[in-house]
Structure formats: structure tokens, C-alpha cells
Amino acid sequence: MRMHEHPTINYPEYHWPAGKRCAVVFSLDLDAESPFLWLHRGQQVQQLGEIEQRRFGPRQGLARVVRLFAEYGIRGSFYVPGVVAQTYPGLLPFLLEGGHEIAHHGYYHERIEAIPVAQAEDYLVMAQELFCTQTGLSGLGHRAPSWEMTSDFLQTLERRGVSYDSSLMGFDHPYHVGNMVEVPVQWTVDDALYFRYTNSPRDKTHPANPGAVLDSWIEEFEGVRETGGLFMVTLHDWISGRSQRLRLLRKLIAHIRHDPQVWWARADEVAAWHAASPNRDLYRVPAHSINTHFESATRG
Ligand SMILES: [Zn+2]
């Protein structure tokens, strides 16, 4: 069985609008306690520790990050599970008022690959209906919880009118997976990797030193600018709304903001640019090639 049916090994440089060299997107996944409750679904949960820690996000963290963005004129992309929008009905209108993008992030922060695709579709439709009721908006973008995706669900997103996906990292600039525009993410620039700490067995180490993370993220930004990619920062309000990380964010923004070669954009604007520009025909991969396996190798 073939490993990959699209054997191109060298692509042209990505073309950004107005002669810009790269794009910068600040995105937030507003999970609140939904991942914890999804993990413990069907159980009576007594402990409040992680739940309260995560609720710091919608209570205080989010407003602080949004205030910081407003100070620098940054419009972010906010991925919101349906259940979080339902719990905080003022959330989506608040974000829209600030000029930010709102997009889907599951209903219960469900892991796509862990449930039947029909159930994942039901949750997507529930989220779409709720967002439409609360804001009048449809045809929004999507980011999969925990950035896991399946080829079946990519087709579901397309059929349900989702405008783009932001869960995968096969290029460091937008591309097409099948017919879906993908606005890629990057583990290296995800706050959870460095700072997520809840004293649970999942946490392998204590929170990182923000100074070291700032150095690392600036290095990543400078590298992405050299190669002409997308610098997609992923934050969580319950993590990056904390004091020392807000200071880290301010320093990161200060480093980037005077660079005239940077296109500051929301993820939906990046997706729309990709779909309307000559880029759309240059970076296309099939959606189903991820399902191959090494038959001959296991036969020995
Ligand atoms: Zn999430």
C-alpha cells in the first residue's frame, strides 16, 4: 500500500496579500471546564479543583486577554464549544462587539475520533444552531478539540457549510485538505504545552518559565517570517489570562507589532484570502491519504 499518493517534495513560497511576508493570528480556545466534564462524562464528579481553575477563564482571564488585544488593536479568533456559549450567553456577543471572530470548537469539547461520525455531526449542528440563535451568524469556521480530525468529519464540515478548519499542521501556511481550507495550528506556539498545570496525572512537569517561552516563541516567529508562513498562536483564557502569561503576551506583541511585513489577521480572513488567491490551487492534499497502513511491513 502506498504511504502517500501526493509525492510533491517542493512547493513554491506562499503568497500573502499586499506584499506582506507572513501572517500573524492570535487564537483562543475558550474551553472553560468542558474538556474535564467530557473526560468524566457519565460520572458524578465531586472534586472542584480543576473545574474552578478552568472557570477562571470566562470569569477573569478572557476579559484580561481581550483588554490587552484592544490596547494593541488586535482582533483575535475565538473557538468556543457550544456548551460554553450556552453557559455564558453574553460571551459570543461580547467577542463580536470587540471585532473578534467566533468559531466552533465542538459542543461538549468532544474528541472527534472517539465518537461515531454521526454523533459528531449532531453536536456540530447543535453548536451551529446555538451560535445562530445567539448571534445570527452561520457558515463559521471550526477547530477540532485537541486538534484531532478524521477524513469523514472533514467531509461533514464541508457538507454543513463550515467555512474552514483550523486543526491540522501539514503546512505552515493555509492549504486544502480535500475541499476544506485548512488554517494550520502549531504545537510549538500553544500555551497549554508550557503552562497547563492542574496537579493531575496528565501534568508531566511544572509550568514553564515565561521568559524562556517568550524567547522560544520569538524564535518561531522570526523563523516563520523568514520562510513566509503563518504564525498561529493558540491560547486558552484560563491559562494565558494569568498574570505572568499576560506579561509574556504583551512582550510578544511588542516584538511583532512594528514589523511592516506582518499581516495581522483573524483566521477567517486568512482562510478567505487563501480561497480567493492563486494559493488555492498550489497546496492541495487528499483528505483520505491519512488512512493508509503498512500491510506489507507487518507481513514481514
Ligand atoms: Zn479546546
CA–centroid distance, 111 to ligand 1, in Å, is: 10
Domain of 197, CATH number, reads 3.20.20.370
CA–centroid distance, 19 to ligand 1, in Å, is: 33
Which residues, by Cβ under 5 Å, contact ligand 1, an ion?
A: 29, 31, 145
For residue 100, give the C-alpha cell. Answer: 473578534
CA–centroid distance, 172 to ligand 1, in Å, is: 20
pLDDT digits (tens, 9 = 90+) for 130-141: 999 999 999 999
CA–centroid distance, 232 to ligand 1, in Å, is: 15
- Average pLDDT, stretch 65-90? 98
For residue 188, give the C-alpha cell. Answer: 510549538
The verdict on residue 69 lying in a domain is yes
End-to-end CA distance of the chain: 14
The verdict on residue 1 lying in a domain is no
- Average pLDDT, stretch 272-291? 87
Parent domain of 130: 19-291
CA–centroid distance, 22 to ligand 1, in Å, is: 26
The verdict on residue 105 lying in a domain is yes
For residue 161, give the C-alpha cell. Answer: 457549510
Position 211 scores a pLDDT of 97
The verdict on residue 300 lying in a domain is no
Position 204 scores a pLDDT of 76
298 pLDDT higher than 70: no
The verdict on residue 245 lying in a domain is yes
Contact (CB, 8 A) for 7 and 212: no
The verdict on residue 7 lying in a domain is no
The verdict on residue 191 lying in a domain is yes
Q: What does residue 181 show for φ and ψ, rounded to 5 degrees? A: -75, 130
* The total number of structural domains that make up the chain: 1
The verdict on residue 12 lying in a domain is no
